[in-house]
Amino acid sequence: MLAHSTPRRVVARVAQLEPAKRILFLPLTRPRTPMYPMGEPRSHGSADILLARGFAPHRVALEDYVAYQWEAVGDLLGTRSIQRRDQLALRWLYDAVRQVGAPTSALDIGCAYGNHLFMLNAMLGKPQSVELVGVDLFDKAIQVANTFAEQIPGYSNCRFHLVDITQGLPFPDSSFEAINACDVIEHLIDPRQSLLEMRRVARPGATIVLSTPLRDSVFKTLARKANRLTKGRLYRSYYAGKDTSLGPTGMPIMETPAGHDHVSEMNLTELQGLCRDLGLRIEQMEPMSILSGSKWFGRHDFVLAGALALEAVHDRLRRPNWSHSVMLRLRSVR
């Protein structure tokens, strides 16, 4: 993108500099062409994107849309939290697929633009013998994901379907060795029914990767109290920094183009009980960060510094009841 506004020689020289020195050249990076040719432009500036990309000049491409779907520049805590989640989910999925060997099939529930599957495919070395299938009820995301899979070499083993999981999954029993369900079940009115459906399409012994926010963590409870004390100002600022609209009660609007918002958050005991009831053995549980992030923190340096210090303490103590969300590696033991 830098190449659109700056002579190529300068671009090449800058790309070779240390990251810290590249920052000096940020004013050169204003783009002349829109970043996202296919949809809503993102609110962040080109400079941030270039830093994230390692400052390498690149053409505006389909990859941009897929790669940046959850990136929220200016939200350090959010980016840190989502990167950790992705790293763990991908490691668990990678191990599950590698363990079985080819041919294998993996399913991503609520795959959005497909980037977990695309990253997994890249990590695996794009083996065409591994079938990667994503489902979501967000039609535009499914369209983008399928276009990516068709157009970008090495991804034709990925396919995406428009599916509302609450209506059942259009796959035979025991179809998949690995299933990913990252930040989805809290959007479903009846998570039990959808987990049962996931178990049905999972082969016996398959790995299911689940990540979901926890209701009533210590800090969520504190935030609720602080919100009441500040007459709703805390949530208004926090959610504005997440680009989420609030309803009349001051809580996020529950209906979105991509289904419900968080209508079914559970606490850890409820979640563990549900998995046990359904014959999904919890093989690993990882408490994730305390805060899911918001650009609001980035506007208040001291609050951000405090939050990062707290996260550092939590990284050591790893208390599930402090965590905003949890990740579970489950095994279907039917």
Ligand X SMILES: C[S@@+](CC[C@H](N)C(=O)[O-])C[C@H]1O[C@@H](n2cnc3c(N)ncnc32)[C@H](O)[C@@H]1O
Residues forming contacts to ligand X in the complex (CB under 6 A) are 70, 110-112, 136-138, 141, 163-166, 182-184, 187-188, 258-259
Could you give the CA distance from residue 106 to residue 35 in angstroms, rounded to a whole number? 31
CB contact set of 78 (below 8 Å; sequence gap of 6+): 72, 242, 292, 293, 294, 295
Token pair 């009533």 is at which residue?
216
Q: How far is the CB of 222 from ligand X (least distance, A)?
A: 24
Q: Which of 11/93 has CB closer to ligand X?
A: 93
> Shortest approach of ligand X to residue 73 CB, angstroms?
17
- Closest C-alpha among 131, 310, 121 to residue 222: 310
Least Cβ distance, residue 292 to ligand X (angstroms): 11
Q: How far is the CB of 238 from ligand X (least distance, A)?
A: 17
For residues 163 and 326, which CB has a smaller minimum distance to ligand X in the complex?
A: 163
What is the smallest separation between the CB atom of 233 and ligand X, expressed in angstroms?
26
CB closer to ligand X, 143 vs 166? 166
* Nearer to ligand X among residue 47 and residue 178 (C-beta): 178
In angstroms and rounded to an integer, the radius of gyration of the C-alpha atoms of the chain is: 21
Sign of the dihedral defined by the CA atoms of residues 252, 257, 263, 267, in that order: negative
- Looking at the Cβ atoms of 22 and 159, the one nearer to ligand X is 159
Least Å distance, CB 138 to ligand X, is: 4
The distance of closest approach from Cβ of residue 18 to ligand X in the complex, given in angstroms and rounded to an integer, is: 32
Nearest distance from C-beta of residue 16 to ligand X, angstroms = 33
Please say which residue, 25 or 114, places its beta carbon nearer to ligand X. Answer: 114
Encoded tokens for 191: 């998570």
CA 185, CA 156: separation in Å to the nearest integer? 28
Is the Cβ of residue 74 or residue 191 nearer to ligand X in the bound state?
191
Task: Point out the residue whose Cβ comes nearest to ligand X.
Answer: 110
Q: Find out whether 206 and 180 touch, Cβ atoms under 8 Å.
A: no
Q: Please, what sign has the CA dihedral across residues 115, 116, 118, 119?
A: positive
Residue closer to ligand X, measured from CB, 177 or 183: 183
Beta carbon nearer to ligand X, 100 or 209 = 209
Cα distance from N-terminal residue to C-terminal residue, the chain: 51
The DSSP bridge partners found for residue 281 are 331
- Amino acid in position 137: L
85 in Cβ contact with 209 (< 8 Å): no
Shortest distance in whole angstroms from residue 251 CB to ligand X? 17
Q: What angle do CA 234, 235, 238 make, to 5 degrees?
A: 85
CA–CA distance, 182 with 277 (Å, rounded to integer): 20
Q: Which residues contact 259 (CB under 8 A, 6 or more apart)?
A: 137, 138, 164, 187, 188
